């Protein structure tokens, strides 16, 4: 009897250890993979001080990309878990059925992305008869198309060329293009070589166009590690507060981390608005409206989808009836506490 009892106890202990082992493997992954563009943004502070690694309790792998299309490919091949990238490639991803969802809007783009042109072009109207480059499937392309759609220049008289950021700089130096709608460091390199700004993305706000960057997560990762998603957002908000408290120090840290000129980093960081979690949970962004209307971001996503269809980058049959299901504010609510 004693032998049987002992065997039962040993069996129960072994089963408990096995269950614990399974629980441990789901409690945290070996690493968390962030997709980033290598641009000067506030979350780079968390790369510099490794606070994301500390907050998540596992190493963070930073996977660099060039365009939003790259991010979608990385999500599709399950090579990343969380990404910070532009609004319109994300909308394209939702519509195409990628298992991803928006978890936050870290930045509203104002002057971080701009149309920069040669010295003899005095205003936006002056790009008519010229060649203008843009990174394809990006917020910069969306802004460029939006300003043309709203009559700031005659679209039929502007030659548009899709190029990656590094290709934009090379094309400028060769004299192949007369300007570009881009972000730093490419934008800064053109300005250093004689270009000047004639339009900023923030100028579109008066036309009712909201262009932003988003944090997007793999649904599989979010379902498996919800505590890590909340911890990520909480640590990001700490980095925003660090920037607000000492913008100069934050800019210097980011410039050193990226090996980019301090002046261009400082300018890029000032070119964004950073909503608080409370603001993001309002109906203006991701919160529910009292009258049941879609949130501000869901409306912006619908407008972005319409643009993508018009631009031939998305089939109309793929556009969902609502983008509300693709926005998950629950992790922001957890991060707020």
Same domain? For 73 and 218 the reply is yes
The total domain count for the chain is 2
Instruction: Tell me if 19 is assigned to some domain.
Output: no
Domain final residue, candidates 185, 207, 229 = 207
Q: Quick one: pLDDT at residue 189?
A: 95
Q: Quick one: pLDDT at residue 26?
A: 59
Q: Quick check: 107 and 225 in contact, CB under 8 A? A: no
Domain final residue, candidates 179, 207, 235 = 207
Same domain? For 156 and 141 the reply is yes
Q: Quick one: pLDDT at residue 66?
A: 86
Q: Quick check: 213 and 112 in contact, CB under 8 A? A: no
Same domain? For 330 and 215 the reply is yes
Same domain? For 170 and 290 the reply is no
Q: Domain containing 131: what range?
A: 113-207
- Structure letter (DSSP) for residue 329: -
Same domain? For 181 and 59 the reply is no
Q: Quick one: pLDDT at residue 2?
A: 41
d(CA 293, CA 283): 9
Same domain? For 239 and 332 the reply is yes
Q: Quick one: pLDDT at residue 337?
A: 81
Same domain? For 178 and 102 the reply is no
Question: What residue has token string 């106890």?
Answer: 9
Domain final residue, candidates 172, 207, 242 = 207
Same domain? For 153 and 289 the reply is no
Number of CB atoms found within 10 A of residue 324's CB: 16
Instruction: Tell me if 200 is assigned to some domain.
Output: yes
Instruction: Tell me if 79 is assigned to some domain.
Output: yes
Q: Quick one: pLDDT at residue 5?
A: 40
Question: Which of the residues in the chain have pLDDT under 50?
Answer: 1-25
């Amino acid at each position: 009897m004693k032998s049987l009892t002992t065997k039962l106890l040993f069996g129960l202990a072994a089963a408990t250890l096995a269950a614990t082992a399974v629980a441990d493997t789901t409690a945290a992954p070996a690493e968390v993979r962030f997709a980033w563009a290598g641009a000067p943004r506030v979350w780079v502070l968390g790369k510099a001080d490794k606070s994301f690694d500390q907050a998540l309790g596992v190493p963070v792998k930073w996977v660099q990309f060039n365009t939003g299309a790259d991010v979608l490919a990385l999500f599709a091949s399950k090579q990343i878990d969380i990404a910070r990238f532009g609004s319109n490639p994300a909308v394209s991803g939702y519509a195409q059925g990628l298992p991803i969802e928006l978890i936050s809007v870290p930045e509203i783009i104002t002057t971080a992305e701009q149309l920069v042109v040669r010295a003899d072009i005095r205003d936006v109207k002056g790009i008519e008869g010229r060649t203008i480059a843009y990174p394809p499937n990006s917020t910069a392309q969306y802004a460029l198309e939006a300003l043309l759609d709203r009559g700031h220049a005659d679209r039929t008289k502007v030659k548009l060329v899709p190029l990656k950021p590094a290709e934009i700089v090379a094309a400028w130096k060769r004299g192949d293009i007369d300007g570009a709608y881009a972000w730093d460091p490419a934008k800064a390199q053109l300005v250093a070589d004689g270009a000047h700004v004639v339009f900023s993305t923030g100028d579109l706000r008066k036309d009712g166009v909201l262009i932003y960057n988003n944090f997007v997560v793999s649904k599989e990762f979010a379902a498996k590690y919800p505590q890590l998603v909340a911890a990520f957002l909480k640590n990001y908000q700490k980095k925003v507060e660090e920037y607000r408290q000492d913008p100069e120090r934050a800019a210097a840290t980011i410039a050193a981390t990226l090996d980019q000129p301090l002046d261009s980093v400082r300018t890029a960081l000032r070119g964004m608005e950073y909503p608080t979690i409370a603001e993001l949970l309002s109906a203006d962004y991701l919160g529910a409206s009292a009258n049941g209307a879609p949130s501000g971001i869901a409306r912006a996503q619908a407008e972005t989808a319409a643009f993508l269809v018009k631009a031939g980058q998305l089939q109309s049959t793929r556009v969902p009836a609502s983008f509300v299901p693709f926005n998950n504010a629950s992790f922001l609510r957890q991060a707020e506490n």
